[in-house]
Chain A
Amino acid sequence: MSERTSVDGAEHVHDLLSEYLNGDLPDAERQVIQQHLDACARCRRDYESLRLTVNLLRQIPLHAVPRSFAIAALEPRQSWRLTWLRLSTSALAAVFVALLALRLVLPSAIQPAASTAATGESRVQSQAASASNAQPAAAAPTAAPAAPPMQAAAAAAAPAPRAAQAAATAAPAAQVIRSAAAQPAPGATPTPASGAGVAPLAAASRAAPPGGTVSPPAVVSAAQQAAPVTAPKPALQTDAATAHRTAVSTLPPSTVPPRPATTRRVSTRLPPAPSAPDWYTPLLAAVGVLLAVSLGALVWVSRRR
């Protein structure tokens, strides 16, 4: 190295001037160049012009950025997922809040709904009872197996939409409530099932006195026959109902002319059930669980991004 940077090797010094200028040469080389520059005017000029050049470059100001280069609307793959999650989460939250509001702010709105649901059910049962007290009790067991499940489900679901319509004073939530309320009804719900054995009895006995055509023991036997069948399977409760509906239709109209009308009127005047509507708690729980899942997914997705 030292040979290269000796006084006679001006060209080599020239090659190292740039690094010398940067100050990143080892001390030994730097001293050699320093001595050479002191001695050689040509190399000194070279060095000086290089230094000025670099100084000029360092004075170039930074140009202001004409705009932000931040990237907008990234990743369409995930954004639709996120959009859907956001939509569903807010929809579920709205339903959840609406349900709570219904319970807390408007208890009056929910109570009539509850009574309608209850009376709707008891009406079906009282209808059954009224039919069975006109027709021989044997008609119910024979017709029951024939009842199509779809019809049974529809019959069980029937009270629920009405309750939902009555309850759904909050417009946006109405549709969700209705469809959700229809769901739990067919599966129907431990509560009606367990009560089914008792309800027909009461309904039958209530319907019996105005009828008066059949003696009390007959009514009891009809109810008793209905009760054991209904108790094990919830669906049978409605089977009995459809069975009796068919029984009613096969009846000669003259036999029991005003009966269905009167029972219906009587049943709607039944006192409201004291408990909250059956669909309310499961629905609230279902919406709550869905909301939690949706929220969790939303948090997970946004954290991954």
Chain B
Amino acid sequence: MTSRRQTAAAPAEALANETERVAAAQRGDSVAFNQLVIAHQELAFNVALRLVGDADSAADVTQDAFLSAYRHLDQFKGGSFRSWLLRIVTNASYDVLRGRRHKTRQSLDEMIEESSFDVPDSGELPETVTLRHEFLEKLQVGLATLPVDQRAVLVLYDIHGLSYEEIGVALETTLGTVKSRLNRARSRLRDYLMQHPELWKP
């Protein structure tokens, strides 16, 4: 499994590179913007995936988010581009979830069937893959039981390794709120996992 923690500490030169790209994109350089897309699309898509639960919706959210980011690039006033982008992604995800609330039968069962965890072909034993597949599906269901603002913090911090500050920008809230949401989200997910002891040994 790849460690996503490495995305947290971006080298200074990569940041400078990104600042240049953002500046170029703001001048209308679509090539530079697409370089930003390529650099961030995996993160954006996976955040959306953990928030909305299925890959198709997450892909739609991601595409919409990048389009929106491009159109509103002039509103980016510096700071972490990643955070700014993730704000758009989380808001777009919230929109999808809000729309879904009306259609109640886009349910958890359906989300499980749609299987947001495609296990990459890693040459592992089939049983192992199946086990992990099931584990991840159930974990996703557990994530779906969290209130969306708590889930967002959990996804950004524990799954993607963003800092409190970045999350604060992305979710437009204070560091204190980020910490307390993270605390509550973890406790809540822990409680869910306690009810599903089979998940503890993936």
Chain A interface (Cβ within 8 Å of chain B)? Answer: 15, 17-19, 49-50, 52-54, 56-71, 74-75, 78, 304-305
In the bound complex, do residue B28 and residue A75 qualify as a contact, i.e. CB atoms below 8 Å apart?
A: yes
Cα of A236 to Cα of B179 in the assembled complex, Å: 92
In the bound complex, do residue B190 and residue A59 qualify as a contact, i.e. CB atoms below 8 Å apart?
A: no
How near does chain A come to B197, taking the closest CB pair, in angstroms? 11
In the bound complex, do residue B66 and residue A62 qualify as a contact, i.e. CB atoms below 8 Å apart?
A: no
In the bound complex, do residue A65 and residue B139 qualify as a contact, i.e. CB atoms below 8 Å apart?
A: no
Chain B contacts of A63 at CB under 8 A? 45-46, 49, 55, 116-118
Which residue of B27, B159, B186 has the most chain A CB atoms within 10 A of its CB atom?
B186
A63-B118, A75-B30, A305-B28 given; A68·B38 CB < 8 A: yes
How near does chain A come to B40, taking the closest CB pair, in angstroms? 9
In the bound complex, do residue B55 and residue A71 qualify as a contact, i.e. CB atoms below 8 Å apart?
A: no
Q: Which of B29, B70, B183 contacts A19 (CB 8 A)?
A: B183
Q: Which of A18, A65, A70 contacts B186 (CB 8 A)?
A: A18
In the bound complex, do residue B5 and residue A49 qualify as a contact, i.e. CB atoms below 8 Å apart?
A: no
Cα of A41 to Cα of B79 in the assembled complex, Å: 44
Chain B interface (Cβ within 8 Å of chain A)? Answer: 1-5, 27-30, 33-34, 37-38, 41-42, 44-46, 49-50, 55, 59, 62-63, 66-67, 70, 116-120, 136, 139, 154, 158-159, 179, 182-183, 186-187, 189-190, 193-194, 199-200, 202
In the bound complex, do residue B41 and residue A68 qualify as a contact, i.e. CB atoms below 8 Å apart?
A: yes
In the bound complex, do residue B44 and residue A61 qualify as a contact, i.e. CB atoms below 8 Å apart?
A: no
Decide if the interface of chain B is mainly helix, strand, loop or mixed.
Answer: helix
A65-B41, A71-B70, A75-B28 given; A59·B202 CB < 8 A: yes
How near does chain B come to A42, taking the closest CB pair, in angstroms? 14
How near does chain A come to B63, taking the closest CB pair, in angstroms? 5
A53-B189, A53-B190 given; A18·B179 CB < 8 A: yes
Chain B contacts of A53 at CB under 8 A? 186, 189-190, 193
A19-B179, A61-B119, A304-B27 given; A71·B46 CB < 8 A: no
In the bound complex, do residue A18 and residue B116 qualify as a contact, i.e. CB atoms below 8 Å apart?
A: no
Chain A contacts of B118 at CB under 8 A? 63-64
| A–B Cβ pairs within 8 angstroms, 11 of them | A19-B179, A50-B190, A53-B193, A54-B158, A57-B158, A58-B4, A59-B1, A63-B118, A67-B59, A70-B41, A74-B30
Cα of A65 to Cα of B183 in the assembled complex, Å: 30
